[in-house]
Amino acid sequence: MTLPLVAITMGDPAGIGPEIVAKVAAQPQFHRDHRAFAVGDPERLAAAARMNNLPLRIEPLVELGDFWPQPGVLHVLSGPKLPPGLPYGRVDPRAGRAAFAYVQSAIALANSGQIHAICTAPINKEALASAGVAYPGHTEMLAELSGSSEVAMMLVSSELRVVLVTIHCSLREAIEQLSIDAELRVIRLAHKALRTMGFPNPRMAIAGLNPHASEGGLFGREDIDIVAPAVRTARAEGIDITGPHPADTIFMLARRGAYDIVVAQYHDQGLIPIKFMGVEHGVNVTIGLPFIRTSPDHGTAFDIAGSGVADASSLQLALDTARDLSRVAAKGYE
């Protein structure tokens, strides 16, 4: 099968995005295993290659057409030109504005059918806010700019899959956002996504919000009044889901193979188990979009940006996942 065409956005220029993109593109197998190009700043990527002594040449990409990568070359679709000497490791509105523009360009290409998938290097939420960008993260901007009314964040590793009911908001706001409809929306999205990923009958579990899944109402009513009714409705629709389960044990059971995915109620409940196993092993997949989008399971790492020590493993895994999911989607599996 022809390799799908993937756009890799450079992420925040002040973070480790340029470095890990360059490191992935410099791998000998890059041009054989992937049909991918970057969206970002060519000079920043070239500087990252020089800093790491990578055998990589940066070339401009003017038209996609029958594009195919060449050995030792990273083709770059240019975004906004960055000011000379933009510092690493600092929140900067110029970097936030550029990072947003890279994602906008990639989404436009995906919306028009010119590419099959987007693999995004990390952005910084403070930098976005300082630039006046209203979106708190990739998921929200991908949803609105692609015209997708229902999306969810799924985290995938070799041992565990997690999907989130609520994403980038305070814990108080997350609890306020919970409803039977919100639970069902994510359950259905995850079920459909897993079937598309090759699971004919996904085995799903849902984590409770409160300790011990509320212990029969001793520790709150949310699991009884919101989560449990959503599970009953989903099961009546033919979805194999159980719960609510105590969150302190359900991820362990899923990791051991009892379930294919866990539905988590809020951001940290779902991301801590995934990241505990190593951020280099996790991939963020946005489900519900009309195209494939993946991302590494880590942030901009301002503390090491510009030092040449960033690990590109998670971005490599995200790029591999974007390719593989695009191939599965092309087969039209249902």
What's the CATH code of the domain at 102? 3.40.718.10
Q: Which of 322, 321, 305 is nearest to 123 (CA)?
A: 305
Q: Is the peptide bond before 244 cis (omega within 30 degrees of 0)?
A: yes
The verdict on 261 and 316 lying in the same domain is: no
Query: Does residue 333 surpass a pLDDT of 50?
Result: no
What three-state secondary structure class fits 118? strand
Please indicate, yes or no, whether residues 304 and 270 belong to a single structural domain of this protein.
no
Number of structural domains found in the chain: 2
Specify whether 137 is located in the same domain as 171: no
Q: Are 163 and 186 in contact (CB under 8 A)?
A: yes
CA nearest neighbour of 201 among 233, 239, 231, 164:
239
| 74 shares its domain with 200 | no
Please tell me what DSSP assigns to residue 93: H
Which of 257, 276, 295 is the last residue before a domain boundary? 276
Helix axes 42-51, 17-25, angle to 10 degrees: 70
The pLDDT confidence band at residue 26, using thresholds 50, 70 and 90, is very high
pTM confidence score: 0.87
Where does a domain end: 231, 256, 276? 276
Host domain of residue 304: 1-152+284-334
- Indicate if 267 and 289 belong to the same structural domain: no
Same domain, 124 and 182: no
Q: What is the pLDDT of residues 214-273, one digit of tens each?
A: 888 889 899 999 999 999 999 999 999 999 999 999 999 999 999 999 999 999 999 999
Pair (246, 206) in one structural domain: yes
Residues 235 and 104 in one domain: no
Q: Is the pLDDT of residue 332 over 60?
A: no
Q: Please indicate, yes or no, whether residues 118 and 27 belong to a single structural domain of this protein.
A: yes
Taking residues 75-92, what's their average pLDDT? 92
- Do 232 and 290 lie in one domain? The reply is no
3-state secondary structure of 119: strand
Task: Note whether 178 and 324 are same-domain residues.
Answer: no
Closest to 326 measured CA to CA, from 297, 294, 295:
294
- The whole-number pLDDT of residue 279 equals 63
8 A C-beta contact, residue 252 and residue 245: no
Rounded-to-integer distance, Cα 310 and Cα 20, Å: 7
